[in-house]
Amino acid sequence: MRLNVNPNRMELMKLKNRLNVARRGHKLLKDKLDALIQDFVRVVRENANLRRQIEKEVVRAFEAQNKASLMLSEEDKELITVFSRQRLVLEVSTRRITGVRVPHFEVKVEGSPYNYGLVSTPAEIDAAFGSFFQVLTLLVKLAEVEKTIELLAVEIEKTRRRVNALEYVLIPSLEETIKYINLKLDELARSAVVSIMRIKGSLK
Amino acid sequence: MLVDGLVFALLGSALAIGLAGIGSALGVGIAGEAGAGVMTEDPGKFGQVLLLQALPGTQGIYGLLAGFWVLIKLGLFGGTPVAVTVAQGMQIMFACLPIAIVGLLSGISQGKTAAASIGLIARRPEETGKAIILPAMVETYAVLSLLATILLLNSIKL
Amino acid sequence: MKLQTIQSALKEDTGFAYLVGRVRALESGILTQKILENILKTEDLEQALRVVAEIPYWGTVFQGTFHSPQSIDETLMGHYWSILEDFDRYRIATPLTRFFILNFDFNFLKLAMKCHLAKKTVEKSYPTTLDTKRVFRFFAGEGREFLPEPFEDAIREAFSAFESHAYNVQVLEFVLDRFYLQEVYRLALKYESQVLKNWLLAYVAFAYLKAVLRARCQGGKPEMVRLMYTPNPLVSQESFVSLLGASPEKVPEMIADLGFSFILPAESFHDDPYYVAEVEKQMDNYLIRFARSFRSQTFGPEPVFGFLWAKGIDVKNLRILLEGKYFGLSQEALRDKIRECYYE
């Protein structure tokens, strides 16, 4: 699509400059896109692994819970869970992946997860509590990875739109306009030559 | 003289009836408690339990029999009382001791065995027959002692 | 001499004749390995409950029970508690039932204390001889309120230990466990029957061994675990605490030195909750095998005690099986968990 400009040398200069900038920008953005996609693939792979691991752990945790549940009376169950002074502190910081700010979660545990006695409860619940505790940290990690994927995806989309805009809209239209101005200027030059030749002829 | 001899003879009779009776009462009591326990949970066992509870009751009857034997021998049931010397009175008293002592102890033992057997039929009703034989074995010695007492009494010449 | 034998013959705990008679009848309702196998073989809870209904004295127990773990547990505990209460009514059996009721009372007390600290109320009613309202009034510090003997001291000490140990909830339970085991030990000293005394001592010793093995898995600290300890002849405080810090290779040796090598399962020792669970199973099996000798006693407290313990194991086994069927766990997994029976 041709830009609506006056076809003169001044504009041609300007357009040429813009085209240069656009080409350079395009190349840079394209590099960034590649880097982003590389990171994205890496994080997605990490996510897949994590998910598989969590699935395994969750199944194990629930199995442990079921096993423990067999050994516990309802009173014991209430007794074990009714009061806990364990606190989970979630620290949120940010880091940068290829210029994208992504969150980083850190879980800190205060107090013991075992808030019950050892004499009247079965040992199976220790296993259940232990497994769920592991699952918890993994889940927090998963949340971090998922959010990272989301942010990276948004960034990739944005960058790709820019690259495309440069590649398919701005650069072609600039080229077309430059070509048009060139043609127009050539045309002007030719018509000037012709008119001079005609004047010369009439003088003879 | 006559009165003194009778005292010993009557003491023997009283011992036979009393001690054997106590034995039976304790025995029946123990068996009865166990029986009541079983029947609390399983009233259908009344028949077998009653049979077993009654087993230790025989010692009392034997004692009573021996006691009456002495009374008859002394002619205290109608007829004329026989004159008894001290020696004869003591003979009668000692003759009564087998059923008195054995009645007391075997009554208690039989009561315990009966209680145990009641426990047995509570768990295994199909073994009722065997369960009754066990306490019945104790009965043998009560019968033997009764026999001894009667033989001894018969051998005393008044 | 002769008089003494007669006296002893007369005295020999025939006072228990009634209760023993009852126990003999009730024992036909005690589960056996065969019944457990039959329940194991069923496909779902429905079928399992049908098998249970065929056992004597269990016929109507599960009538109107919903098919949920809560409802099953409520039924089982209600059944067990009603038997305990029933036996508790006979004065002669009170020292025996006290052992079983203590467990319920201390459990309730723990729950009440935790609810009090969490500012909640105890919503469901659990079997206990303690009065909920009175316990809470006592917590609130009403001077007029008093509780039976061991509980008052236990509560006071537990709260103060809770405060002095940086509000660690486990401390509460450790202190209460100490009072519970202390009470069990006192009960053991009171018993005239030597076998029952030994049984209770073994129970206390097992409680400590199991606690220390679990504390190892949880990474418990000696100064906290020590709160649990009450002096008893089988496990000294020294060996109790040193078991906590010992390296895994040395633990089997130390347990063998205490004379309890039979509680360790066949596999080699390692600090794992499931290993400890296996140890717990061995302990339960040992205690029930010990109690089996009580069966053959005609008189005296032993058969009654044995029956009550066996009933507790039955409740445990039935809970495992019925809830296992509810969760659809495999036969092997369940067979792994079930305890030995009173009657083979």
- What is the domain-level CATH number for residue B116? 1.20.120.610
> How far C16 CA sits from the closest chain B CA (Å)?
8
Q: What is the pLDDT of residues B10-51, one digit of tens each?
A: 999 999 999 999 999 999 999 999 999 999 988 988 999 999
Residue C215 clears pLDDT 80, i.e. is over it: yes
Choose the closest CB to C114 out of A82, A111, A126.
Answer: A82
- Mean pLDDT to the nearest integer, B90-102: 94
Binning pLDDT at 50, 70 and 90, where does residue C142 land?
confident
pLDDT above 90 covers a percentage of chain A that reads 50
Tell me whether C275 touches chain B (CB under 8 Å).
Answer: no
pLDDT of residue B1: 44
Expressed in percent and rounded to 5, the helix, strand and coil fractions of chain A are 75, 10, 15
Distance CA A185, CA A15 (A): 14
Distance CA C261, CA C259 (A): 6
> How far A31 CA sits from the closest chain C CA (Å)?
52
- Mean pLDDT to the nearest integer, C132-160: 83
Distance CA C175, CA A57 (A): 34
Q: Quick check: is A146 in a domain? A: yes
Residue C340 clears pLDDT 70, i.e. is over it: yes
DSSP B54-87: HGGGHHHHHHHHHHHHHHHHHT-SSSPPPP--HH
Q: What is the pLDDT of residues C248-291, one digit of tens each?
A: 888 888 888 888 988 888 888 888 888 999 999 999 999 999 99
Residue C6 clears pLDDT 60, i.e. is over it: no
Length of chain C: 344
Q: What is the pLDDT of residues B108-154, one digit of tens each?
A: 999 999 998 998 898 888 888 899 999 999 999 999 999 999 999 99
Contact A67 C117 (CB under 8 A): no
Q: Quick check: is A163 in a domain? A: yes
Residues in C 15-44 with any Cβ partner in B closer than 8 A: 17-28
pLDDT of residue C295: 86
Choose the closest CB to C169 out of A74, A78, A84.
Answer: A84
Our count of domains for chain A comes to: 1
Contact C170 A74 (CB under 8 A): no
**Residue C31 CB neighbour total at 10 angstroms:** 24
Please tell me which residue of chain A has the smallest CA distance to C272.
Answer: A127
What domain range is A102 assigned to? 9-203
Segments making up each domain of chain C, as ranges: 3-335
Contacts of A among chains (3+ CB pairs under 8 A): C
The mean pLDDT of chain A is: 89
Distance CA C225, CA C241 (A): 8
Binning pLDDT at 50, 70 and 90, where does residue C13 land?
low
Q: Which of A69, A54, A78, A86 is nearest to A127 (CA)?
A: A69
Our count of domains for chain B comes to: 1
Answer whether A105's CB lies under 8 Å from A90's CB.
yes
Q: Quick check: is A4 in a domain? A: no
Contact C24 B122 (CB under 8 A): yes
> What is the complex's ipTM, to 2 decimals?
0.82
Which residues have a Cβ under 8 Å from the Cβ of C27 and sit 6 or more positions away? Answer: B122, B123, C295, C307, C310, C342, C343
Answer whether C117's CB lies under 8 Å from A82's CB.
no
Choose the closest CB to A85 out of C106, C169, C276.
Answer: C169
Expressed in percent and rounded to 5, the helix, strand and coil fractions of chain B are 90, 0, 10
- What is the domain-level CATH number for residue A157? 1.10.287.3240
Q: Which of B91, B108, B115, B101 is nearest to B144 (CA)?
A: B101
Whether there are 3 or more C-beta pairs closer than 8 Å between A and B is: no
Q: What is the pLDDT of residues A57-93, one digit of tens each?
A: 999 999 888 888 888 888 888 888 888 878 888 889 9
pLDDT of residue C5: 57
Residue that wins the pLDDT comparison between B98 and A5: B98
Q: What's this model's pTM, rounded to 2 decimal places? A: 0.85
pLDDT of residue C1: 43
The mean pLDDT of chain C is: 87
What domain range is B24 assigned to? 5-155
Residue B78 clears pLDDT 80, i.e. is over it: no
Q: What is the pLDDT of residues C39-58, one digit of tens each?
A: 999 988 888 898 998 888 88
